[in-house]
């Protein structure tokens, strides 16, 4: 702790708690003791972010200390007033058992299942369940070029944007270096339409109709001229393109494999125990 106010706070707490009833860890500096529980200097130091102001560091420390004291008091009061200890022990043992089983299952999954499904598995899933992979928004691939309203060669730029062939794209890129306010090339990446339209001063009442009827869209305001070329699109309700759905499909397949693996593993353990007579059934 580097701040003076915080040092004073810690010093005060240390002095006020010097006559504690239980023995503190001699290798650490205790700040206070409540109900036989100690709060140490290093525990407070570690929660103070670097480069904070003196006022903020003191406030953070005071808040942490207050919360720590309150938690200890609540816990100790709860223990004294809670009479059903057996129920708590049972719940703790159930939680401990579930936690150990879960950790064991996760380790088996990591060892025995692939990190991700193959491309063929994902494609097969996509072809079988594509009706469940419907888009909830319009997406496009294309180019957005924003230039000054009085930029040179706008007619030529319009021609390049309309063409969209390799030579035209080279010309657009060269032109954008000197004249573009903004140049976004996303012809190889599906992008939500709304993200693109946020950069263009236009109100679209029917986004689906807009993308299906505009290969090249052009508009201006008082200072800028906007060119939007739509290479390809999918509208809301269409099947999600495979390349966009791959991450989702991968998670679905892996979750299915995990569920099946755990179910089969549990069945195998049970059957092996019955077969080896590890389980004793008592006749009533």
Radius of gyration of the chain measured on its C-alpha atoms: 33
CB 72 within 8 A of CB 34: yes
What share of residues in the chain are helix, strand, coil (percent, to 5)? 55, 15, 30
Query: Both 139 and 228 in a single domain?
Result: yes
Among the three residues 234, 251, 274, which one is the final residue of a domain in this structure?
Answer: 234
Most distant pair of Cα atoms in the chain: their distance: 96
Q: Say how far apart CA 73 and CA 7 lie, in whole Å.
A: 25
Give me the pLDDT at residue 88, please. Answer: 84
Question: Per the domain annotation, does 17 fall within a domain?
Answer: yes
Query: Both 64 and 148 in a single domain?
Result: no
Token pair of 114 as six digits:
């692939």
Give the SS3 label for residue 180: strand
- Phi (first) and psi of residue 215, to 5 degrees: -85, -40
Give me the pLDDT at residue 8, please. Answer: 56
Q: Say how far apart CA 269 and CA 36 lie, in whole Å.
A: 46
Question: Per the domain annotation, does 125 fall within a domain?
Answer: no
Q: Say how far apart CA 140 and CA 120 lie, in whole Å.
A: 26
Domain count, the chain: 2
Query: Both 74 and 139 in a single domain?
Result: no
pLDDT band at residue 83 using 50, 70 and 90 as cut-offs? confident
Q: Say how far apart CA 271 and CA 24 lie, in whole Å.
A: 53
Query: Both 142 and 70 in a single domain?
Result: no
Residue 284 has pLDDT above 80, yes or no: no
Among the three residues 215, 234, 253, which one is the final residue of a domain in this structure?
Answer: 234
Question: Per the domain annotation, does 219 fall within a domain?
Answer: yes
CATH for 157 = 3.10.50
Give Cα separations from 14 to 5, 23, 24, 70, 116 (angstroms): 14, 14, 12, 18, 54
Give me the pLDDT at residue 63, please. Answer: 95
Give me the pLDDT at residue 6, please. Answer: 55
Residue 114 has pLDDT above 80, yes or no: yes
The domain of 15 spans 4-81
Instruction: Say if residue 166 is exposed, middle or buried (CB neighbours under 10 Å; 0-12, 13-18, 19+).
Output: exposed
Query: Both 220 and 145 in a single domain?
Result: yes
Summary mean pLDDT of the chain: 90
Q: Say how far apart CA 14 and CA 33 lie, in whole Å.
A: 10
Query: Both 146 and 228 in a single domain?
Result: yes
Report pTM: 0.63
Q: Say how far apart CA 189 and CA 141 lie, in whole Å.
A: 6
Question: Per the domain annotation, does 15 fall within a domain?
Answer: yes
């Amino acid at each position: 702790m580097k701040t003076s106010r915080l040092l004073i706070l810690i010093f005060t707490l240390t002095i006020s708690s010097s006559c504690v009833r239980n023995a503190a860890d001699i290798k650490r500096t205790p700040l206070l003791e409540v109900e036989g529980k100690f709060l140490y200097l290093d525990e407070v130091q570690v929660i103070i972010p670097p480069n904070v102001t003196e006022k903020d560091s003191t406030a953070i420390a005071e808040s942490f200390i207050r919360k720590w004291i309150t938690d200890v008091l609540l816990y100790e009061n709860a223990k004294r007033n809670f009479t059903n200890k057996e129920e708590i022990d049972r719940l703790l043992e159930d939680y401990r058992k579930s936690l150990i089983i879960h950790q064991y299952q996760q380790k088996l999954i990591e060892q025995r299942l692939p990190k991700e499904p193959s491309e063929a598995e994902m494609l097969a899933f996509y072809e079988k369940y594509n009706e469940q992979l419907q888009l909830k928004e319009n997406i496009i691939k294309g180019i957005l070029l924003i230039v000054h309203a009085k930029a040179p060669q706008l007619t030529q730029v319009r021609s390049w944007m309309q063409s969209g062939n390799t030579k035209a794209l080279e010309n657009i890129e060269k032109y954008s270096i000197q004249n573009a306010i903004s140049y976004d090339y996303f012809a190889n990446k599906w992008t939500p339409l709304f993200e693109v339209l946020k950069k263009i001063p236009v109100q679209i009442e029917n986004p689906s109709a807009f993308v299906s009827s505009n290969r090249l869209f052009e508009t201006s305001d008082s200072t800028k001229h906007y060119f939007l070329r739509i290479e390809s699109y999918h509208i809301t309700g269409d099947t999600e393109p495979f390349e966009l759905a791959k991450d989702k499909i991968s998670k679905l397949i892996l979750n299915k494999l995990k569920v099946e693996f755990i179910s089969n593993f549990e069945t195998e353990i049970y059957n092996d125990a019955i077969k080896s007579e590890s389980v004793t059934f008592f006749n009533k």
